[in-house]
Chains A and B, each alone.
Chain A
Amino acid sequence: MKYLHLVWASLFRRKTRTVLTLVSIIAAFLLFGLLDAVRTSFSQAGQSANGAARLQTGSKLSFIQTLPLSLTQQIERVDGVKAVAYANWFGGAYQDPHNQVFSFAVAPNYLDLFPEVAVSDAERKAFIGTRTGALVGEKLAQRFGWKVGDRVPLQSNIFPDRSGSKNWQFDIVGILHATDKKTGGFFDQMFLLNWKYFDETTPYNQGAAGWYVTRVTDVNQADRVAKAIDALSANSDHETRTQTEQAATASWMKQLADIGLIVGSIMGAVFFTLLLLSGNTMMQAVRERTSEIAVLKTIGFSGRSVLAMVLAESVLLLMLGGLIGLGLATLIIPAVSAGSGGMLNLPSVGSGSWMLGVALMAGIGIVVGALPAWNAMRLNIVDALAGR
């Protein structure tokens, strides 16, 4: 540690070169920060304790098939079930059919099952009491500039009302806040409407439920409860498939894309290039300091401490660039999310990404510094000073 100033001085011996290399490293780790955040958000989607304690029951046939509402009472009676609610996909869009909104028609008690979504009691009451009432996520409200009291038109791309029109009117009665920001990205974007209003207005639903959400009393019993729920409708014409919310979300994400593989390949290409680039810088740096290193050795520095100093220099170079890059990613992500007005909802750089990043910095630093450091250690003082 006491040689830090020496390492620092040799790092910035050629300012242009070091700064140019640093920018490359910053770019690489900025990209790493952004991509790893995306990867983590995909792999962590739904992986909360609440997600493990909630079961989703849908038709075994497919997710678009509905289930009879009578299942509610049956599921309630299953041992280990704390509460059950039902919901339907509404398929709403605002103004433009491309402005899709995550909109569900839900049972009055739906939010009881989602303790991580905060909404005031008054607003809950207003929702249940207002036929055309709607509760909207914080980010969604921001995105379209909605406030409590607004009357908003929503177009359903599936359900017309009895006159055949697909334009629905809703009164916003409350705002949903996700209390757990890490997994809350989705809840912030939700639009909830009353199932009863939905069912009575469209001729196409006729008292069916899209899926059931069940909260179990004991997480460890989740699998048993899921099997018991599926047993209720075994061999009927509406067999069900029940999964924990965790498993269901993970399976959806997997169907969407193999994000891990894509991110892994990109980062592989980036870090391979970076290895070469910073390796070249370190080789140059040590080569042009040959005589200085010989002097160091002459005045008594051991080969091992010279080795350590060169290694420290390359690790410092990588750390410096890497930390700035990851820091930039941390700053940029919320800015981009805010700038897009809620359209994009990127997760921020988590502690896992930071740890992986720092490990990569150290690892690449050591690999990159190894060869020049080895050369410096083996340096023969007489040859080096003679310029041979």
Chain B
Amino acid sequence: MNWLINAGLLLLLAVVLAAWVMLPWPGALALAVLLAGWLLLTRRGRQTLSVANVGISTLTQRLGSSGVIVVGIAGVVGVLVSLLSMAEGYAETLRRTGGTDSVIVMRGGSASEVSSVLTREHIALIQQADGIARNDKGEPLASEELVVAANLPVKGGAPGEEGSVQLRGVGERAWAVRPQAKIIAGKAFGPGLRELVVGQGAARQFAGLVPGGTVRLGAQTWTVAGVFATGDALESEIWADGNVVADTYRRGGSRTSVTAKLADPQAFKTLKAALEANPQLQVDATTTLDYFSKQSEGVTKVLRIIGITVGSIMAIGAMFGALNTMFAAVAARAREIATLRAIGFSGVPVVVAVMLETMLLALIGGVLGGLLAWAVFDGYGASTMAAGSVGKLSFALRVSPDLLWTGLKWALAIGFIGGLFPAVRAARLPVTTALREL
């Protein structure tokens, strides 16, 4: 009999948790309304409320042990949300870099811009293809670019410590196909000169990237002309005149990619078909949104897995902490609970009241942890070697409302399990035994 009930409880737990994980917030809201209705409108609900009241009003007397639940769950939620915010910030930065209205063309089968090579003839063919938007003068809005890596001294690093930055050799049209790119300090590089404009993310990472400053690329000295901002992954790069970069890197007339504005969102199909139909070309065209989203996939997945693994192990610890506290709380109140049941309260109000108490503590912990993660890490600057790029990508951690909601769900789930077993034990303890205790 006993083990049947326990097995049933575990099954119920699994079902509830599975449903809970998938529940969107309107569902949770409906549940909360339903619960409130039951508590206020039915006889049993009102009984529950009064039993819960006793528990909740005495919380202050058990500050230490209740604090364990709150802090434990705050810790889980804080760490989980912070780790997931890394994945979120990284993915968000790359996603923002692309759009459905522009397209990137690379040599067929290239995993990233750096590994692609396009010859001058190919570039001319690509730029004349149908579907690419044109400016007032009738020139195609397509920018051929040479993406390479450069070593630069790291800001605040040891002497001689160098990091890699993505260097993009561009022409005038690079600005036209990326309206989000704006010079925020200094001026643009002069054509044919060894001058750089640096993204503000790159300027944060590397030493000497201030307007008027000079840096050494290989054996050459380059001058920093200005700083640009795009609000996305591109500002982790440094830009210079494509011809000068090609000269420095001995690339001749070849480039790595062509980024183009589409005439209209439907033009992507036209362009892709036109490029595929041309037997002289072996290239892949993808919308920049797809390209940059894909770049973030692998890293984001790894970061998510790490976050959830760490969060789960911590959650187990916090759950047992909650169980511990609630078992003690229930044991201390065994006589009161038994008295209630002796005078006719059924088991349900007792169970629900204990659960309510635990979930309340869990909610406080979840809110606390989420807020802490938000206060400390929202917008926190981080950087990593990005997949598909050859330079450090700076990005800001992002604690989105979605993540906070995920954290709250975890908190309530931990509270649910932590409260369920003590609650059921309290309700099932034979009245006579409980009354005789102490």
Point out which of B217, B320, B325, B390 has the most chain A C-beta atoms below 10 A from its C-beta.
B320
Return the CB mask of A42-72 against B: 1 if under 8 Å, else 0. 0000000000000000011111110000000
Instruction: List, in ascending order, chain A residues with CB within 8 A of B282's CB.
Output: 164
**Total number of A residues with any Cβ neighbor in B under 8 Å:** 54
A61 touches B164 (CB 8 A): no
Q: Nearest 6 pairs between A and B by C-beta? A: A27-B317, A62-B149, A61-B218, A157-B111, A158-B115, A20-B324
B317 touches A23 (CB 8 A): yes
Q: Does A73 contact B (CB under 8 A)?
A: no
Instruction: List, in ascending order, chain A residues with CB within 8 A of B150's CB.
Output: 61-62
Q: Does A98 contact B (CB under 8 A)?
A: yes
A residues 17-31 with Cβ under 8 Å of B? 17, 20-21, 23-25, 27-28, 30-31
24 A-B residue pairs with Cβ-Cβ distance under 8 Å, sorted by A, are A17-B327, A20-B321, A23-B316, A24-B72, A24-B321, A27-B316, A31-B314, A63-B390, A65-B218, A91-B115, A155-B109, A236-B219, A237-B218, A239-B218, A255-B385, A256-B384, A265-B82, A266-B310, A269-B78, A273-B72, A276-B71, A277-B68, A277-B72, A277-B317
B149 touches A64 (CB 8 A): yes
A251 touches B218 (CB 8 A): no
Q: Does A1 contact B (CB under 8 A)?
A: no
Q: Does B31 contact A (CB under 8 A)?
A: no
A28 touches B317 (CB 8 A): yes
Q: Does A35 contact B (CB under 8 A)?
A: yes
**Total number of B residues with any Cβ neighbor in A under 8 Å:** 54
Instruction: List, in ascending order, chain B residues with CB within 8 A of A277's CB.
Output: 68, 72, 317, 321, 324
Shortest distance between the CB of B265 and any CB in chain A (Å): 27
B161 touches A35 (CB 8 A): no
Q: Does A274 contact B (CB under 8 A)?
A: yes
A residues 220-276 with Cβ under 8 Å of B? 235-237, 239, 241, 251-252, 255-257, 265-266, 269-270, 272-274, 276
A65 to B82, CA, bound (A): 37
Shortest distance between the CB of A114 and any CB in chain B (Å): 24
B residues 131-161 with Cβ under 8 Å of A? 148-151, 161
A157 touches B390 (CB 8 A): no
Q: Does A101 contact B (CB under 8 A)?
A: no
| Minimal Cβ-Cβ distance residue in A for B112 | A157
Return the CB mask of B229-272 against A: 1 if under 8 Å, else 0. 00000000000000000001110000000000000000000000
B385 touches A256 (CB 8 A): yes
Instruction: List, in ascending order, chain B residues with CB within 8 A of A164's CB.
Output: 108, 282
A280 touches B151 (CB 8 A): no
A276-B384 in contact given A23-B316, A266-B310 (Cβ < 8 Å): no
A61 touches B248 (CB 8 A): yes
A63 to B167, CA, bound (A): 12
